[in-house]
Amino acid sequence: MITAHDKMTLVKRASSSLANATSAQRTQALLNVSKLLLERTDEIIAANKIDLDRGVTAEMTKSTQDRIRLDAARISAIADSVVKVTTLPDVIGDVIRGMTLPNGLQISQVRVPLGVIGVIYEARPNVTIDIAVLAIKSGNSVVLRGGRDAQSSNEVLVRLLQDALALAGLSADSVHTLDEFGREGAQEMMTAVGLIDVLIPRGGPGLIKSVVEESTVPVIQTGDGVVHIFVDETARLDWSVEILHNAKVQRPSVCNAVETLLIHEKAVDRILPAILQNLSEANVVIHGDAKTQELFEAAVAATEEDWHKEYHDLDLAVRVVANLDEALAHIAKYSTKHTESIITERIENAERFLAEVDASTVMVNASTRFTDGGEFGFGAEVGISTQKLHARGPMGILELTSTKWLVRGAGQTRA
């Protein structure tokens, strides 16, 4: 029986195939992925139906069922997005820096693939394609471990990826899934030093915490989002209402949705009623501090716990602050360093907020929902890094690369 370790060894051995492929070969592999997605739509839908039926039996929530569902329209949209990735610039082999040293040595730092990327993720099967496509584009091989909920869909999609690679003359072993090994597969990835160059967890806080704590391979932490919007004294009323609505209601389950509203005390009377009115019409539950509760009867009392909470739902914590300093202090204390936004008309406050807030993405007068690889023009995203090392914010192709130094000499020795 082939083990998880065996499969990772296969990927590691195969990784030189993609790493040394030409850009034209990698593009061909991606075009093959797109083509096969369309050709095999029926097969994918059939496999997906097995997952969905299993989900119904297991009383999966409607929203999880929707996340897992693949239909012809969704598959066609994925196929289109794969083609879009082929049009992005190829970054592998780019010379980033270069110089000639006093002794005549010519050194240059060039962009190379990371090697083997491990991704542990949950639910949505389109993530399987998103990640593999960005990896192939950047010359990386991948070991995938998706959620059990989409195992049948993922199995068909991984085979499709392997076929697409083989048709382009690249090693089919560049992509493997460890789904069949369940939790043990994930465990093996976390300690696969020498086989996996970087591990990216994509999923809920529990998954991410366990990967960060248990891994001996380097990890990129993603997706923790206690996201704040600060409505400043001078904020525009219409923008405040629209941005809060968009950031909370459009898709509350994602990491870039707002979780806490901070509002300047001098903006409370002018702006807060309109925001809260609008949100409660959208069924948002307000968890307010004392001042918010005074103003808005329906608000439930916010506790210390609320300021730490990623609701992922139609809930919003609201706190009135005395000034920008108090807003910055609150954010410094409770932020998970994902995305923070200020709504203001004062340039001084906007610039201070941009400079002093320590987060992957800091915004002025915009919805926090824009922190996203697709929105940023990356084609797709591998996740949103909330750490400072290697990658910060939405991770696209560049974030899947490393560098190496090339040194060309003529017999130089060190003095």
Q: Which residues of 345-357 are buried (b: 16+ CB within 10 A; e: fewer)?
A: eeeebbebbeeeb
CB of 52 to a second copy, least distance (A): 28
Of 336-365, which residues contact a second copy (CB under 8 A)? 341, 350, 354-356, 358-365
Q: Residues 368-387 vs a second copy: string with x where CB under 8 A?
A: -xxx---xxx---------x
Q: Is 393 in the site for a second copy (CB under 8 A)?
A: yes
According to CB under 8 A, which one of 9, 64, 76, 403 is a site residue for a second copy?
403
For 62, the enclosing helix (H) or strand (E) is: helix 62-68
Q: Is 409 in the site for a second copy (CB under 8 A)?
A: yes
CB of 44 to a second copy, least distance (A): 27
According to CB under 8 A, which one of 5, 9, 16, 308 is a site residue for a second copy?
16
For 186, the enclosing helix (H) or strand (E) is: helix 182-190
Find the part of the chain contacting a second copy (CB under 8 A) among 35-43, 151-159, 317-325, 405-413.
405-413
Q: Is 148 in the site for a second copy (CB under 8 A)?
A: no
Tokens of 133: 């496509």
Of 245-284, which residues contact a second copy (CB under 8 A)? 245-247, 250
Residue 93 or 169: the one with the smaller Cβ distance to a second copy is 93
Query: Is residue 3 a contact partner of residue 113, using CB atoms and an 8 Å limit?
Result: no
Q: Is 389 in the site for a second copy (CB under 8 A)?
A: yes
Angle formed by the axes of helices 72-86 and 41-57, nearest 10°: 120
**Dist. CA 398–CA 134, nearest whole Å:** 9
Residue 65 or 246: the one with the smaller Cβ distance to a second copy is 246
Phi and psi at 355, nearest 5°, equal -75, -40
Q: Residues 17-36 vs a second copy: string with x where CB under 8 A?
A: --xx----------------
CB of 239 to a second copy, least distance (A): 4
Of 174-203, which residues contact a second copy (CB under 8 A)? 197-198
Write 106-110 long-range contacts (CB < 8 A, 24+).
106/407, 106/408, 106/409, 107/405, 107/406, 107/407, 107/408, 108/405, 108/406, 109/403, 109/404, 109/405, 109/406, 110/403, 110/404, 110/406
Distance of CA 406 to the CA centre of its chain: 32
CB of 166 to a second copy, least distance (A): 22
Tokens of 254: 């994602």
Contacts of 330 (CB under 8 A, 6+ apart): 228, 260, 262, 307, 319, 321
Residue 72 or 407: the one with the smaller Cβ distance to a second copy is 407
CB of 15 to a second copy, least distance (A): 9
Residue 53 or 216: the one with the smaller Cβ distance to a second copy is 216
Of 209-248, which residues contact a second copy (CB under 8 A)? 212-213, 216, 218-220, 236, 238-239, 242-243, 245-247
CB of 346 to a second copy, least distance (A): 14
Query: Is residue 76 a contact partner of residue 38, using CB atoms and an 8 Å limit?
Result: yes
Tokens of 206: 């529990």
Contacts of 251 (CB under 8 A, 6+ apart): 257, 369
Q: Count other Cβ atoms within 10 Å, centred on residue 111.
A: 18
Q: How many residues bind a second copy (CB under 8 A)?
A: 68
Residue 41 or 365: the one with the smaller Cβ distance to a second copy is 365
**Dist. CA 110–CA 408, nearest whole Å:** 13
CB of 300 to a second copy, least distance (A): 26
In the three-class reduction of DSSP (H, G, I as helix; E, B as strand; rest coil), residue 386 is classed as coil
Q: What is the DSSP string of 218-258?
A: -B--B----EEEEE-TT--HHHHHHHHHHHHHS-TTSTTSE
Residue 183 or 408: the one with the smaller Cβ distance to a second copy is 408
Q: Is 298 in the site for a second copy (CB under 8 A)?
A: no
Q: Residues 114-133 vs a second copy: string with x where CB under 8 A?
A: xx------------------
Binding residues for a second copy, per CB under 8 A? 16, 19-20, 99, 101, 105, 107, 109, 114-115, 197-198, 212-213, 216, 218-220, 236, 238-239, 242-243, 245-247, 250, 341, 350, 354-356, 358-367, 369-371, 375-377, 387-390, 392-394, 402-414
